[in-house]
Structure 1
Amino acid sequence: MIWNDDFETLPREAIEALQLKRLQQTVARVQATVPFYREHFARAGVSADQIGSLQDLRRLPFTLKQDLRDNYPYGLFAVPLEQIVRIHASSGTTGKPTVVGYTRRDIETWSELMARSFAAAGADKGDVIHNAYGYGLFTGGLGAHYGAERIGASVIPMSGGNTKKQIMIMQDFGSTVLTCTPSYCLFLAEAAAEEGLDIRNFKLRVGIHGAEPWSEKMREEIEQKLGIKAIDIYGLSEILGPGVGIECIEAQNGLHIWEDHFIPEIINPESGEVLPHGEHGELVITTITKEGIPLIRYRTRDITRLLPEPCICGRTHMRLKRMSGRSDDMLIIRGVNVFPSQIESVLFNIEGIDPHYQLVVDREGNLDTLEVQVEVNEKTFSDEVKEMQNLSRRIRKDIKDLLGVTCSVRLVEPKTLARSEGKAVRVIDKRKSLDS
């Protein structure tokens, strides 16, 4: 189902004409109202009146997450605080949080884009949406909530945590759509099994999962263990929250990014050069309708590529390939670039292990080390020591063959690694404490 046919199926020429008009208005507005951008543009030798085509976008300088922190809390707001009706912020685990503000119109836009996203995932007013994204300063819970209400569905505002109650509510209330992180989705299935329940017997039919990178193999695991269609959703609080892009249920192949509100670019993360469609690089997004805190060429640090080919669902907006990692979360181990999702793809292809793992990076002398800790399933754990050793060797070999990096493997008992009710903690980098 297409929620807003007028915009979701616009011809390419109409999309680009609308983007240019809105880009020019946005650049002129931030230059006039945000001192940071006025100075930022001046240093780059560019001004709003020089934006005559979409190609001119690349003349504008990038905005970084650090720019939001440097202007904490309200320095990048483009409207007076009395026009801001909602404030969200990131967790701030690596410093001060990044703060974003929404005008009433921004909230309307967000609700509209989340309604489009739910519709793309196959949800409608007859659904009961179990929303297990966290409510609060994190954008996930409220973003999904407003979109669910916009399509007329019944929304259960569960938030995160209290897993046993989550399972009870899903079963008793007849939830049909589940929204949460992919790792928590698998945790729910595991916890239900411990209660003697098969979550596949619930009424769930669709899961909408985001907020952390996940692989195609993890999707297969979710769909098999929960008996649902697992849909990838993309968003980040600096740009909007959830609802920047989503897969359609018809194709499940790339996330439609709502181009009437955002302009995506793919750049080389090292040089900043704009790359052609189809090439992998870092996603950069410019907001062209946000009032509270418009962002120009924001470097998301997410690695993906643009898919301009038409989609079978009929939507004409370009798609983003599933995120393969982040340029700033990338591990460099003995000169080799490693994304956790690459190791995950290896693990999910090996029978006998569960979808729970952790990467421990350390340094011995001047040499970086990587230990892959992974849970084996009950059957494998009861096997002979020789079989466990063969499994470890297989994992080491497959990771070496794919990535060219040598690692050690530690197989651990089922349910040993810590579970997360939010984003899974996949990497423990002990080198950071050594370098500090």
Structure 2
Amino acid sequence: MKPNAADYYAREDLEALQLRRLKETVARVYHLVTFYRHKFEEAGIKPEDIRSLEDLRRLPFTVKQDLRDHYPFGLLAVPLEQVVRIHSSSGTTGKPTVVAYTEHDMRVWTEVMMRTLLMGRVGPGDVVHNAYGYGLFTGGLGFHYGAEALGAAVVPSSVGFTKRQLMLMRDFRATVLCCTPSYALHLAEVAQEEGLDPQKDFRLRAGFFGAEPASPGLRQAVSEVWGLKYFECYGLSEIIGPGVAASCEYGELHIFEDHFLPEIIHPETGEVLPEGEEGELVFTTLTKQALPLIRYRTRDISRLYREPCRCGRTILRMGRVVGRTDDMLIVSGVNVFPSQVEHVLTKVEGLTPNYVIVVDKKGVLDVLEVWVEVDERIFTGDLGSLENLKHKLEEELANHLFLRARVKLVEPKTLERSMGKAKRVIDRRELEEKLGR
């Protein structure tokens, strides 16, 4: 299959398409979704007021709590009879966010997933080992339908049963791996424990990784241990699932902006920021029927770039997500993102990318600890080497975080492994507050 033409549109043609679709979407939600009609009226906006893409900033924001407040179907723009698929978020607190799809929405989702996988030239002859979760989580089925539509053979392995996953990958001669980056690293660990060489005993040539932020070091570790080309996939269930953006052969993340109109805003003021500035990523869906969203605040921190990529695509590029506004830790007044810690860990020789950040309070002071597994060779060495490694890491973290962190070096393979999104943060302050301490 040839690359989608929309990836290469001239900017003026793409913006004309976006404006037409934006007007249609705004009119649609105003007339069909009571929530949006009230929001627009409060803001003094009517559909006919949207005359240019610049007018997008006049529209009100949508946040995740809005979906929870209208659980389960209060934001649908179609009768339930037209819905053919229902998914929900993997959130662990409160009501889940429910998303729905019409047949048209499913075609859009399949299209953007095809465009994602085409970044890695997936097609007939490929065996795609899909270790994303199937079920209410959108990851597994998103990759499944995109790969099948390209003519690839899909192994719907889902999550868990790691040794069986490795057996299937080897026996079925998988060429493409789809899963979270932390699980890809865990698969390689277990393969090596079983006496297998991830590169010699397997045939992986490409991998599509997402659902959690990954530092450059973690991406490099996954790529090197498996000997594959690393492709990043960005998405969120509220917008479509995976397939909102994907990286090309040059590692640049491209947003499929003919379907998803992006902005970067200041997280606190809501002001739209200029190109290249870091802020919160916001999306307006342009083609969704069942659950169109206007200016949805993702809480992901990123940047947008307009200039065309070396791959020839003209669609906007986004920087890697460096953290989330709701995942950001404030430790002694300093903002800390897990991705910052991970970046430092992957630059220090002798450590693995397996870590946990623990935040506690001693009296009135916040205390930041980083627990990290060391390499097998380092752990079996002398105590002096371990102490030197500990001090080196503490200094590197202080230089990058502008904050002192205690380092705890732990034995290899002792920290809990995740089959899906890795849990990197334990904030004991929250527990103490709940207990009233």
TM-score, normalised to structure 2, is 0.98
- CA displacement, residues 236-283 of structure 1 (integer Å, 9 cap, x when unaligned): 00000001000012x112x11111101100011011110011111110
Calculate the aligned-residue CA RMSD, in Å.
Answer: 0.9
Aligned to 1:414: 412
- CA deviation profile, 1:58-95 (whole Å, cap 9, x unmatched): 00010000000000000111000000000000123021
Q: In structure 1, how many angstroms separate the alpha carbons of the residues matched to 2:171 and 2:283? A: 41
The letter for the 1-side match of 2:32 is: T
One-letter amino acid matched to 1:314? G
How far did residue 43 of structure 1 move? 1.3
- How many angstroms does 1:123 deviate by? 1.5
Alignment partner, residue 271 of structure 1: 269
Q: Which residue of 1 aligns with 2:337?
A: 339
1:51 aligns to what?
50
Residue 316 of structure 1: how far off its partner (Å): 1.1
Query: Which residue number in structure 1 is paired with residue 248 of structure 2?
Result: 248
Asked if 1:363 corresponds to 2:361, the answer is yes
Q: Give the secondary structure class of the aligned counterpart of 2:275.
A: coil
SS in 2 for 1:199: coil
1: CA distance, partners of 2:224 / 2:17: 42
| d(CA) in 2 for partners of 1:58, 1:129 | 41
> How far is 1:2 from its partner?
4.7
Report how far residue 188 of structure 1 moved: 0.2
Output the CA distance in 2 between the equivalents of 1:68 and 1:215.
30
Shift of 1:96: 0.5
**Which residue type is aligned with residue 259 of structure 1?**
E
Measured in 2, the distance between the counterparts of 1:219 and 1:168 equals 24
Number of paired residues?
A: 433
Match of 1:313 among 311, 314, 324: 311
> What are the within-5 Å matches in structure 2 for residues 155-170 of structure 1?
155-170=154-169
Mapped partners of 1:79, 1:404: distance in 2: 50
Structure 2 residue aligned with 1:193: 192
Partner of 1:229: 229
Distance 1:391 1:42 in 2: 60
- AA in 2 matched with 1:134: G
Q: Which runs of 5+ in 1 are unaligned?
A: none
Equivalent-residue separation in structure 2 for 1:275 and 1:430 (angstroms): 35
Aligned to 2:426: 428
For each residue in 1:183-215, what CA deviation from the matched residue of structure 2 results, as whole angstroms up to 9, or x when unmatched? 000000001001100111211000100000001
Alpha-carbon distance in structure 2 between the residues aligned to 1:36 and 1:285:
18
Which residue of structure 1 aligns with residue 399 of structure 2?
401
Mapping 1:48-127, distance limit 5 Å: 48-127=47-126
Is residue 159 of structure 2 the alignment partner of residue 153 of structure 1? no
Measure the CA separation in 1 of the matches of 2:301 and 2:245: 14
Amino acid at match of 1:33: L
Q: Is the 8 A contact 1:303 1:326 kept in 2?
A: yes
Which 5+ residue runs of structure 2 have no aligned equivalent?
none
Q: Give the distance between the partners of 1:148 and 1:25, measured in 2 at CA.
A: 30
d(CA) in 1 for partners of 2:363, 2:14: 55
- Give distance in 2, aligned partners of 1:312 and 1:126: 27
- Distance in 2 of aligned mates of 1:18 and 1:413: 55
Three-state SS of the structure 2 residue aligned to 1:161 is coil
- Name the TM-score, length of structure 1 as normaliser: 0.98
Please give the alpha-carbon distance, in whole angstroms, between the structure 1 residues aligned to 2:7 and 2:406.
Answer: 48
Report how far residue 360 of structure 1 moved.
0.5
Bigger drift between 380-389 and 417-426 goes to 380-389
Where has structure 1 moved over 2 Å in runs of 4 or more?
Answer: none
Percent identity of paired positions between Structure 1 and Structure 2? 59
Deviation at residue 125 of structure 1 after TM alignment:
2.0
Counterpart contact for 1:3–1:115, Cα < 8 Å: no
